C-alpha cells in the first residue's frame, strides 16, 4: 500500500509520455503560450517517437557494451590470476570517466565520422566506471562463509562464479548499470551536435530558432525517460535483494 | 579411513601444520581440538584439499587424495562450517541439492534425497523446502547446513566448528542430533572445535593440536587418565576431570540392579547429567529407564562417584 501512490504517478507519467510521443498534436494548446506567434509549438522536423526510440537504442547499446566490458574486467581482477591488473583496470575506467564526452565527440569525429558512432564511443567510455566499481564491490564483498561453502561443496571456479558469486553480486552490479544508464540518457543529447539521431536534436533546434517549446519537450521527454528507467532498475534490484535476504 | 602422513603446511616462513601423522578409523568421530592458531582448521582443510599441503600425503580409503581434481574430491566429502554458509539466493531444497546437482543425479533422486534429509532433521519438507535460508532460525539453518553436507551420501564428513554460532540449548540438541545421524549413516566424521565439552561429548578419539603439531591423539578416557603434556592437562581443565569422565558414558552403562523412587532418568543421558539430576533432586538413587520406558535399574550417587574417580 505504501508504494501505491508513487506507482500510480509513474504509471500516469508513462501514459502521458506515450501519448505525447504518439499524438504530440494533442498537447499543442499547452505549449502554444511558450512560442512566438506563427512559430510551431510541436517539433516538426522529424517524428518525436522515432527520435526517442533511436535515443534509447543508442543509450542501451552503449550501456550494454560498457556493462560487458566493465563486468568482464571486474571478474578478471577479482580472480587470483587477474589481481595484478586491478590498478591498470581502475586507471583505464577512471580515464573514461574524467574525459568529458564533448571532448570524446570532438576527437572521435575525425576518426569515425559523423553520426551515431562518436556518440556510442563517448557514452561507452562514460558508462564504464559506475558499472566497474559496483561490480568490483559486489564481487569482492561477498560473505566469506558463502564463498568457502561454494568451494567446499565441490564447485569448479566457473561454477562458483556463475552459480554463487554473480547471482549474489547482481543487485549491486545492477545499481551500477542503473547509474550508467541514467547518466547516458542525459549525455546522449549532446550526440546530436555530431548528427546522431537523439532527442538532443529537438533541444538544439529549439535553441537555434529561439523556440522554448522545443527545448522543453526535448528536455522533459529525456527527464521522464530517465526517472522511469531509474525506478524500474531500482524495483528489480529491490526484488533481487529481498529474495537473497539482504534487506 | 583417512591416513594422514607427515603432512606439513607452510605459509612463507610460518609453519602452520608441522609433520602431522594420524589415522582416522572408519565410522568414528574424531575431534580435533586446540587453541586458535594451532593449525587444526588448516589440518582439516587439507583432507578435502581446500588447502594444498606443502609436504606429506593424505590417503582416503587407500587412495592419494591428489589422484582426482580437488573439486571432484570435495563432491565426495561432506563439508559443514560455522555460520552454515548456506547460499542466500537459493531455497533450502536447492541448497541441500547442491552437491547431487553437481554430480548430475536425476531430478527424482535429488527430490527424494532432499525430502529424506529434511525429514531426518525434523524439518517438514513441504514447509521448509521452498523457503529461503534467511527465513529460518539459527538452529534450523545449521541443520540445513549439515543436511547439505550429507546430501551426496559421503563416507566422510568434515565439520569446522559447526555448532560455534549456536546458543547453548540448541547446541546440545544439535550435538545429540549429530550423534544420531552418525549412527544412522555410519559416516566417518572429523570435527574441529575449541570447546572441550563438545569434544568429550562427541569424540571416539580426540586429537589435541598445539603450534601445528599433534600433542596427543587418544580416546577421551585415555586422555583424561594419561594426559601427554601439561598443555593437554590445562586444556582438559584439572577441576573438570571427574565430570568429563562422567560425560563420556551413558546413564544406561552406569545402571545397577535395584529400585529407586523419583523422576526416572533416560538411559541415553550422560552419567554427568544423571549425577546432576541426583544432586538436584537430593536423592541417593534414581531409576533408569530405556527409550521404551522399561526400567533398567537405578543409578546411585555412590556408583557415579566411583565412576568419576581416577581409573586405576
The answer to whether B30 and B208 have CB atoms below 8 angstroms apart is: no
Judged against a pLDDT cut of 50, whether residue A247 lies above it is answered with no
At residue A65, the pLDDT reads 96
Identify the bridge partners of residue B266 per DSSP, sorted by sequence position.
Answer: B289
Judged against a pLDDT cut of 50, whether residue A150 lies above it is answered with yes
At residue B239, the pLDDT reads 83
List of chain A residues whose C-beta atoms are within 8 Å of the C-beta of residue B48: 152
At residue B208, the pLDDT reads 93
* Shortest Cα–Cα distance, A206 to chain B (Å): 50
B65 touching A (Cβ < 8 Å): no
Judged against a pLDDT cut of 60, whether residue A1 lies above it is answered with no
Please write the tens of the pLDDT for every residue from B167-226: 888 888 889 889 989 999 999 999 999 888 889 889 999 999 999 999 999 998 888 888
At residue A101, the pLDDT reads 84
Please write the tens of the pLDDT for every residue from A89-124: 888 888 888 888 888 888 888 888 888 888 999 899
In a mutational test of the B interface, the residue from A80, A141, A148, A149 whose CB has the highest number of chain B CBs within 10 Å is A149
A153 touching B (Cβ < 8 Å): yes
Minimum mean pLDDT range among A3-7, A228-232, B127-131: A3-7
DSSP letter for each residue of B185-250:
H--EEEEEES-HHHHHHH-SEEEEEETTEEEEEE-HHHHHHS-SSHHHHHHH-GGGHHHHHHHHSB
Tell me what percent of the residues of chain B surpass a pLDDT of 90. 52
List of residues 6+ apart from B144 with CB closer than 8 A: B84, B86, B92, B95, B96, B121, B123, B128, B133, B136
Please write the tens of the pLDDT for every residue from B63-89: 999 999 999 999 999 999 887 789 999
The model's confidence at residue A164, banded by pLDDT at 50, 70 and 90, is: very high
Exposure of B211 in the CB half-sphere (CA atoms within 13 A): 2
The mean pLDDT value of chain A amounts to 88
CB contact under 8 A, A152 and B74: yes
Minimum mean pLDDT range among A152-161, B44-53, B291-300: B291-300
Residue B199 C-alpha cell reads as 569434544
Judged against a pLDDT cut of 70, whether residue A246 lies above it is answered with no
At residue B23, the pLDDT reads 93
The answer to whether A73 and A132 have CB atoms below 8 angstroms apart is: yes
- Closest CB to A152: pick one of B79, B89, B133: B79
At residue B243, the pLDDT reads 87
* Shortest Cα–Cα distance, B189 to chain A (Å): 15
Helix (H, G, I), strand (E, B) or coil at B312: coil
At residue B167, the pLDDT reads 85
Beginning with the edge strand found earlier in the chain, give each strand of the sheet holding B14-24 in spatial order.
B14-24, B2-11, B55-60, B63-64
Averaged pLDDT for residues B41-55: 93
Averaged pLDDT for residues B248-264: 85
List of chain A residues whose C-beta atoms are within 8 Å of the C-beta of residue B76: 154
The mean pLDDT value of chain B amounts to 90
The model's confidence at residue B21, banded by pLDDT at 50, 70 and 90, is: very high
At residue A30, the pLDDT reads 82
Rounded Cα gap, residues B263 and B51, in angstroms: 51
**CA angle at residue B44 from B54 to B224, to 5 degrees?**
120
Averaged pLDDT for residues B125-132: 92
Q: For the packed helices A212-243 and A4-22, what is the interaxial angle rounded to 10 degrees?
A: 140
Above 0.90 for ipTM, yes or no?
no
Torsion of CA B156, B160, B164, B169, to 10 degrees: 10
B82 touching A (Cβ < 8 Å): yes
List of residues 6+ apart from B23 with CB closer than 8 A: B1, B2, B3, B4
**Exposure of B133 by Cβ count < 10 A (0-12 exposed, 13-18 middle, 19+ buried)?**
buried
CB contact under 8 A, A168 and B79: no
Helix (H, G, I), strand (E, B) or coil at B81: strand
Averaged pLDDT for residues B293-310: 87
> Which one, of B83, B81, B149, B157, lies nearest residue B121 by Cα?
B149
CB contact under 8 A, A159 and B102: yes
Averaged pLDDT for residues A52-69: 94
Averaged pLDDT for residues A153-169: 93
Cell numbers 541514467: residue? A182
B68 touching A (Cβ < 8 Å): no
Beginning with the edge strand found earlier in the chain, give each strand of the sheet holding B77-81 in spatial order.
B77-81, B156-160, B188-193, B29-34, B205-210, B213-218
The answer to whether B251 and B275 have CB atoms below 8 angstroms apart is: no
Averaged pLDDT for residues A7-21: 89
Please write the tens of the pLDDT for every residue from A185-210: 998 998 888 888 888 988 998 898 88
Residue of A nearest to B50 (CA): A152
Amino acid at each position: 500500500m505504501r508504494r501505491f501512490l508513487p506507482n500510480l504517478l509513474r504509471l500516469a507519467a508513462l501514459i502521458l509520455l506515450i501519448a505525447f510521443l504518439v499524438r504530440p498534436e494533442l498537447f499543442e494548446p499547452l505549449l502554444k503560450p511558450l512560442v512566438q506567434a506563427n512559430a510551431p509549438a510541436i517539433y516538426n522536423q522529424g517524428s518525436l517517437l522515432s527520435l526517442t526510440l533511436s535515443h534509447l537504442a543508442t543509450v542501451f547499446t552503449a550501456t550494454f557494451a560498457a556493462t560487458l566490458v566493465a563486468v568482464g574486467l571486474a571478474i578478471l581482477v577479482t580472480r587470483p590470476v587477474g589481481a595484478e591488473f586491478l590498478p591498470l583496470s581502475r586507471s583505464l575506467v577512471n580515464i573514461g570517466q574524467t574525459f568529458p564526452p564533448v571532448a570524446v565527440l570532438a576527437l572521435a569525429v575525425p576518426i569515425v565520422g559523423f553520426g551515431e558512432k562518436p556518440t556510442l564511443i563517448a557514452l561507452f567510455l562514460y558508462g564504464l566506471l559506475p558499472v566497474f566499481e559496483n561490480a568490483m564491490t559486489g564481487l569482492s564483498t561477498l560473505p566469506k562463509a558463502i564463498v568457502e561453502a561454494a568451494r567446499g561443496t565441490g564447485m569448479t571456479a566457473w561454477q562458483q562464479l556463475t552459480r554463487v558469486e554473480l547471482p549474489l553480486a547482481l543487485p549491486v552490479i545492477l545499481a551500477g548499470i542503473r547509474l550508467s544508464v541514467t547518466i547516458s540518457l542525459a549525455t546522449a543529447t549532446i550526440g546530436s551536435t555530431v548528427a546522431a539521431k537523439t532527442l538532443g536534436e529537438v533541444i538544439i533546434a529549439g535553441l537555434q530558432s529561439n523556440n522554448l517549446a522545443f527545448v522543453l519537450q526535448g528536455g522533459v521527454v529525456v527527464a521522464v525517460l530517465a526517472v522511469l528507467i531509474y525506478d524500474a532498475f531500482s524495483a528489480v534490484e529491490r526484488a533481487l535483494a529481498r529474495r537473497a535476504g539482504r534487506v | 579411513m583417512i591416513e594422514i602422513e607427515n603432512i606439513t603446511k607452510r605459509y612463507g616462513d610460518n609453519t602452520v601444520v608441522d609433520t602431522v601423522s594420524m589415522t582416522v578409523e572408519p565410522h568414528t568421530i574424531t575431534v580435533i581440538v586446540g587453541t586458535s592458531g594451532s593449525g587444526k582448521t588448516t589440518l582439516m582443510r587439507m583432507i578435502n584439499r581446500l588447502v594444498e599441503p606443502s609436504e606429506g600425503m593424505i590417503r582416503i580409503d587407500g587412495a592419494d587424495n591428489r589422484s582426482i581434481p580437488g573439486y571432484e574430491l570435495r563432491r565426495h566429502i561432506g563439508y559443514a562450517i560455522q555460520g552454515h554458509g548456506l547460499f542466500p539466493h537459493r531455497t533450502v531444497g536447492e541448497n541441500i541439492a547442491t552437491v547431487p546437482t553437481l554430480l548430475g543425479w536425476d531430478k527424482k533422486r535429488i527430490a527424494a534425497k532432499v525430502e529424506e534429509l529434511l525429514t531426518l532433521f525434523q524439518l517438514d519438507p513441504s514447509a521448509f523446502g521452498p523457503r529461503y535460508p534467511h527465513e529460518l532460525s539459527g538452529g534450523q539453518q545449521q541443520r540445513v547446513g549439515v543436511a547439505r553436507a550429507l546430501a551426496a551420501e559421503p563416507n566422510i564428513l568434515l565439520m569446522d566448528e559447526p555448532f560455534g554460532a549456536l546458543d547453548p540449548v540448541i547446541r546440545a540438541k544439535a550435538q545429540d542430533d549429530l550423534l544420531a545421524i552418525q549412527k544412522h549413516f555410519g559416516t566417518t566424521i572429523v570435527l574441529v572445535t575449541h570447546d572441550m565439552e563438545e569434544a568429550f561429548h562427541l569424540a571416539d578419539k580426540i586429537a589435541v593440536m598445539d603450534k601445528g603439531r599433534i600433542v596427543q591423539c587418544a580416546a577421551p578416557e585415555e586422555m583424561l587418565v594419561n594426559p601427554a603434556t601439561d598443555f593437554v592437562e590445562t586444556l582438559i581443565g584439572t577441576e573438570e576431570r571427574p565430570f568429563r569422565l562422567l560425560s563420556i558414558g551413558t546413564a544406561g552403562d552406569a545402571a545397577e540392579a535395584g529400585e529407586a523412587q523419583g523422576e526416572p532418568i533416560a538411559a541415553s543421558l550422560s552419567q554427568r547429567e544423571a549425577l546432576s539430576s541426583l544432586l538436584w533432586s537430593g536423592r541417593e538413587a534414581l531409576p533408569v529407564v530405556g527409550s521404551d520406558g522399561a526400567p533398567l535399574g537405578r543409578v546411585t550417587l555412590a556408583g557415579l562417584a566411583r565412576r568419576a574417580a581416577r581409573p586405576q
